[in-house]
Amino acid sequence: MEYSSVEHGNNHYELELPHGRLHVFANSDVYQTFGAKVYEMADNNLRIPRHVYMSYTPDAHVGVGTCIGTTAVWNMKDGFVSPSIVGVDIGCGMRVHTTTLHRRDIQDRAVRRALIEAIEKYVPTKERTNTHYADIDIMNVVRHGLKGLPEKYVPQEQWLTHVEESTFRFEHAYLEHLPAQIRKYAHGQLGTLGGGNHFIELQVLEIEEGRAELAARWGLFDGQVVVMIHSGSRAWGAKLGQTYTSELRDAMYSWGVDNPDRNLIYAPIASREGQTYLNLMYSALNFAVSNRHMIAFGVREAFRDVFGAGLEMPVLYDLMHNYALKEAHRNQPMLVHRKGATRALPPGHYLNTAAYKETGHPALIPGSMGTSSYIMVGREEGMKNFYSICHGAGRARSRKATKELVTVDQFEQSLMVGTDEEILVNHRSLQTILDECPQAYKDVDQIIDSVVGASLADVVAKCKPMAAIKGV
C-alpha cells in the first residue's frame, strides 16, 4: 500500500492512506515496528463513510476487523457504530484499589503466597467455576450497573463514585432482543476473572519525581501496596458481540455494503441495527464494571483474611478500554470508539467524575506479567487525540508464535524465579500461561515514553508487580 506521511514532532505522525488520514502516536523506535497489516486494517476502517478521526496509540497491533489500539470517531447525527471497533470483550478495563500496606508487609514470600491462595478462594479463576454471588440478579446488574448490586456488596460509597460510570443508561426494552443463550452463558460469571490477558496483580508503587503532591491527593505514597484488576464483561459481552456482529454483517449484505475485510462490521448509528447494538452494548458495560467491582470485593475479603477484618481497600479508579461512547467534542456530539485505548481526561474536563474534577482522573495502564504498570493523568494537549492513550503494552507476537519462540526458562527469568525479587504467580506450571509472558508483549516503558512524549498524558506512579493471579 502506498501512502505519504508527515511527522508533526512530539511522537505524532499523520499518514494519508487511500481512504483517509490516520494519526499515529509513537516514538521513532515503536513507530518503526508497525507492519503493513496495521495500515491495511486502518485503511479498511477508513472506508466507513463520514469518519471524523482515526488514530493508533503506540500499543497498536493487529486484531479482528480492527487493530487493538484504535480510536475512531463519527458524528452522532450521521455517523456509524462498529462492533469491530469496540471489540468482543465489551467493557474490558482496569481497576485499582489502594491499601495502607507497605512493600515490607508483603515482602515475605509466605505472605504473598497466602494472599494468592486467599484470593483464589474468593475469585474463581477457572473458566467453568461459578460465581460466589448467586444472590445477585444478573438482570438488575445489566440494567443498572453498580446501582443494581445489593447494598452488602458496596463496602464504601466511593466504590460507586470513583469509576468512569456507575450506570450506563440505555433503553431496557432492547434487552428483549437478546437470545436466551446469552443469559444462560453469563449466569454465574459475575465476579469471575476470565482467561487470556485478564489478571489480578499485587503491586508496589514508585511515585514519579515531581508528582508527590498529586499522588498524595489521590491517596498514593512510595512503597504502597495496591491491587490492579483487569477483566471485562465475560460471556455477556462476548456472546452479545458475536450475535450482533453476525446480525450486522447480514444487514450490511442486504444494504449492498461491502469491505475487503469481512470481519469489519458497521451500521449507521440511527439505523435499527445500530441502535439495537448501541443499547445492548451499554448493558455489557454495566456487566463489566460490576464484574470488576465484585472481583475487587472478593480480593478485599482475601486481604482481610490475611491482615485482619479492619483492613479497607478504597477504589482509586475503574475505567474501560473497549467501548463506544457519546461525548461532546468540537462543540458537537460524537460517538468515540476506543478499542484497546484508554480515556485520559485532563484536570477540569467536564467528563471527569466529581472526585477528580480538579486533578484529572487516574489513567490505569497495565504492563505485561513481570513488567511494571503505570498510573497516569491526562493532559489538555490530549484533545488532539480525543483524550485517548494506550491501554497497555500491546502484543508483539501472537499466542501461537509466543509458544513457539519463548521457553519456560526464559519466562522464569523474566519473573526472577528463585530470587528474593521473584514475582509469584498462582499457577504451578508456567507452561499453562506461557502465551502471556512478557516476551509476548511490546516494551511497556517504550509505550509510556511514546505517550508522554506526545504530550497526551504524564506518569504519576510506576506499579511494580509482586504477585500475579491469572485465569485459565
Residue 131's pLDDT is 83
SS3 122: helix
- The answer to whether 470 is annotated as binding is yes
209-218, 295-304, 417-426, 454-463: segment of lowest average pLDDT: 417-426
Rounded distance, CA 69 to CA 392, Å? Answer: 9
Q: What is the pLDDT of residues 169-205, one digit of tens each?
A: 999 999 998 888 888 888 889 999 998 899 999 999 9
Average pLDDT over the chain, rounded to an integer: 95
339 within some domain: yes
Span 105-117, average pLDDT: 97
pLDDT band at 1 (very low <50, low <70, confident <90, very high): confident
Percent of the chain with pLDDT over 70: 99
Give a yes or no: residue 85 inside a domain: yes
Residue 293 and residue 317: Cα distance in Å, rounded? 11
Residue position matching grid coordinates 504498570: 373
User: Does 80 show up as a binding residue in the annotation?
Assistant: no
> Which residues are registered as beta bridge partners of 231?
93
Classify residue 146: in a domain, yes or no. Answer: yes
Residues designated as active site:
391
Residue 128 has pLDDT above 70, yes or no: no
Q: How many residues does the chain have?
A: 472
DSSP assignment of 169-199 equals ---GGGGGGS-HHHHHHHTT-TT---STT-E
Question: What's the pTM value of the predicted model, to 2 decimals?
Answer: 0.96
Q: Quick check: helix, strand or coil at residue 444?
A: helix
Q: What is the mean pLDDT of residues 74-90?
A: 96
Residue 414 within any structural domain of the chain: no
Cα–Cα distance for residue pair 442/5, rounded to 1 Å: 23
Query: Is 421 a member of any domain?
Result: no
Q: Are 240 and 280 in contact (CB under 8 A)?
A: yes
Task: Say which DSSP state 401 is in.
Answer: H
Is 61 part of any known ligand binding site? no
Tell whether 408 is covered by a domain: no
Question: What CATH number does the domain containing 101 carry?
Answer: 3.90.1860.10
Q: What is the mean pLDDT of the segment spanning 19-47?
A: 97
For residue 291, give its domain range. 4-396+441-470
Mean pLDDT (whole number) for 275-295: 97
**199 among annotated binding-site residues:** yes
Residue 163 has pLDDT above 90, yes or no: yes
What is the mean predicted confidence (pLDDT) over 93-112?
Answer: 97
Identify the pLDDT of residue 21.
98
In the chain, how many domains are there?
1
Q: How confident is the model at residue 412 (pLDDT cuts 50, 70, 90)?
A: confident
- Scored b (16 or more CB within 10 A) or e, 84-120 reads bbbbbbbbbbbbbbbbebebeebeeeebbebbbebbb
Q: Which secondary structure element, helix H or strand E, spans residue 290, and what is its range?
A: helix 272-307
Q: Which residues contact 213 (CB under 8 A, 6 or more apart)?
A: none
Q: How far apart are CA 367 and CA 173, in angstroms?
A: 39
Residue 188 resides in a domain: yes
Annotated ligand binding at 329? The verdict is no
In order of 367, 381, 449, the CA distances from 458 in angstroms are: 16, 11, 9
Residue 116's pLDDT band (cuts 50, 70, 90): very high
Task: Tell me: pLDDT of 283 over 70.
Answer: yes
422 assigned to some structural domain: no
